[in-house]
Amino acid sequence: MKVNGTHYRSLWWDTTAEALQIIDQRWLPHDFRVQQLDTLADFDAAIVEMRVRGAPLIGATAAYGMALAARLDPTDDGLNAAWAQLNATRPTAINLRWALDRCRAALLPLPVDARASAALALAHEIADEDVEINRRIGEYGLQLIRDVAAKKSDGEPVRILTHCNAGWIATVDWGTATSPMYHAHDAGIPIHVWVGETRPRNQGALTAWELGGHGISHTYVTDNAGGHLMQHGEVDLVIIGTDRTTRQGDVCNKIGTYLKALAAKDNGVPFYVALPSPTIDWTVTDGVSEIPIEERNPREVTHVQGALDDGGIGLAQVTPQGTPGGNPAFDVTPNRLVTGLITERGICDASSNGLATLFPEMV
Ligand code: MRU
C-alpha cells in the first residue's frame, strides 16, 4: 500500500545490499524509519522488539531469517539452530512456526550448496503468497461490506469496528482485516472505521495511520468504547485479525478482542475474523486451554510512548512508582462468539466443519 504516494510492502529484498529491509514499526505513526537486517541477531531483535509485528509479517520475516541462515551456515546444524533461535522470539502467532517449518522442511533434503539460493527463493515465495492471500480475503470481505451497504440509504457509511493493527504493515501487503476495507473504499462504498486504540502498544494508531494514508474515514476510540458504540447501534460489523486460529475456529488475537466479541454477541453485531490459512493451527482444538499466550514486559503497560511537543518520541510513566504491571498480549475468543471466518478460499463458519469444508486437505 502507499506511504505519501509511494507504494511500499512492509518488507522488501534489497538486491544491491543483498539484505532484507523492514519498516521499523516502533516509531510509527510518528516517524517512518527503514532498517536493514544483516545478522540473525537483527532478525531476532526485530521480531522480539516488535519492529516487525502482526502474525503474517512475523512469518515472512522469519522466512528471510532462514534465508540468511542458509547463506551463513547451510549445514543441518546451522539451519536447525536458526530455526530454534527464531522460533523462540514470540510464542503466540503461529505463522512464525509455520514459516520456519516450511523453510526447514524444504531445505534439509537439498544438497548443502543448493540451500542458500533455494531459501531466498522460498522467502520471496512466502512473501508473495501472503500478498495474494490477503488480496483474496479482501475480495471476500468486500462482499460482506457490500451486503451491509445495500441495506443502507445512499451515501450512508458502513461502520466497521476493528481492534489492533491487522493492516498492511502487519502483513506483507493489504492486511487481513483491513483488506476488505481497502477493497470497499476502492469500490466506492462509503465506510467509516472505528479504530480501537489497543493498549498497551496502541497498534490502533498504526491502523489510523494506514487508513488515513488511504483516505478512509475513521475515528480512534478507547478500547473500552467498543461495547458502548455497539449498544447505541453505531457499529454494523466487526472485522479483526488473528494470530492463531484453532481447527475448531477459536480465535486468538490481540488482548481485548474477546471483550469486543462478547459485546458484539450481546448486541447482535456480526463479528468476523480475517483469517489467512497459515494462521490456522491444525494441531490445536481448544484455543483457551491450548494456545500459549505471550506475557510481555510490564513496562509496556506502566509507560506510554508518544510524540513530544519538541518533535521527539518519548515515554511517559502512567502508574505510581513501583506499581506492578501485568501484560498478557493476546486472548482467545471461543468460536461460539464468531460469526464467520474470512479466508482466501471464502467465508466459513467458525467451526471444525466450516474450516474442513474450505480446507479438506488439512483434515
Ligand atoms: O503483538 P502484535 O502487534 O504482533 O499483534 C498483532 C495482532 O494481534 C494482529 O491482530 C494479528 O497478528 C493479525 S495481523 C494481520
pLDDT in tens, 17-52: 999 999 999 999 999 999 999 999 999 999 999 999
Q: Is the pTM of this model over 0.85?
A: yes
- Name the residue at shortest CA distance from atom 6 of ligand 1: 54
- CA gap 110, 118 in Å, rounded: 9
Q: What is the mean predicted confidence (pLDDT) over 168-189?
A: 98
What is the average pLDDT across 266-272? 98
Which ligand 1 atom is at minimum distance from the Cα of 294? 1
Q: What local confidence, expressed as pLDDT, does residue 45 receive?
A: 98
Written as nine digits, the cell of 253 is 488475537
pLDDT (tens digit per residue) in 205-221: 999 999 999 999 999 99
Residues in the ligand 1 pocket, defined by CB under 6 Å:
53-56, 93, 164, 166, 170-171, 175-176, 203, 241-243, 253-254, 329
What pLDDT shows up at residue 299? Answer: 97
DSSP string, 185-243: HHTT--EEEEEE--TTTTHHHHHHHHHHHTT-EEEEE-TTHHHHHHHTT--SEEEE--S
Provide the pLDDT for residue 344: 98
Q: Residue 59 — very low, low, confident or very high, per pLDDT cuts 50/70/90?
A: very high
- pLDDT at position 316, please? 97
Query: What is the Å distance from ligand 1's center to 169 Cα?
Result: 10
Mean pLDDT of the 163-180 span: 98
Q: How high does pLDDT run on average in the chain?
A: 98
Nearest Cα residue to 336 out of 357, 351, 348 = 351
| 164 alpha carbon – ligand 1 mean position (Å) | 7
Which positions are catalytic?
Answer: 243
Q: What three-state secondary structure class fits 316?
A: strand
Q: For residue 134, give the ligand 1 atom closest to its CA.
A: 15
Going by pLDDT thresholds of 50, 70 and 90, the confidence category of residue 109 is very high
pLDDT tens digits for range 68-87: 999 999 999 999 999 999 99
User: What per-residue confidence (pLDDT) applies to 332?
Assistant: 99
End-to-end CA distance of the chain: 35
User: How many angstroms separate the CA atoms of 242 and 147, rounded?
Assistant: 23
Instruction: Tell me the C-alpha distance between 268 and 237, whole Å.
Output: 10
pLDDT in the model for residue 355: 98
As a whole-number percent, the residues of the chain with pLDDT over 70 amount to 100
> What local confidence, expressed as pLDDT, does residue 291 receive?
98
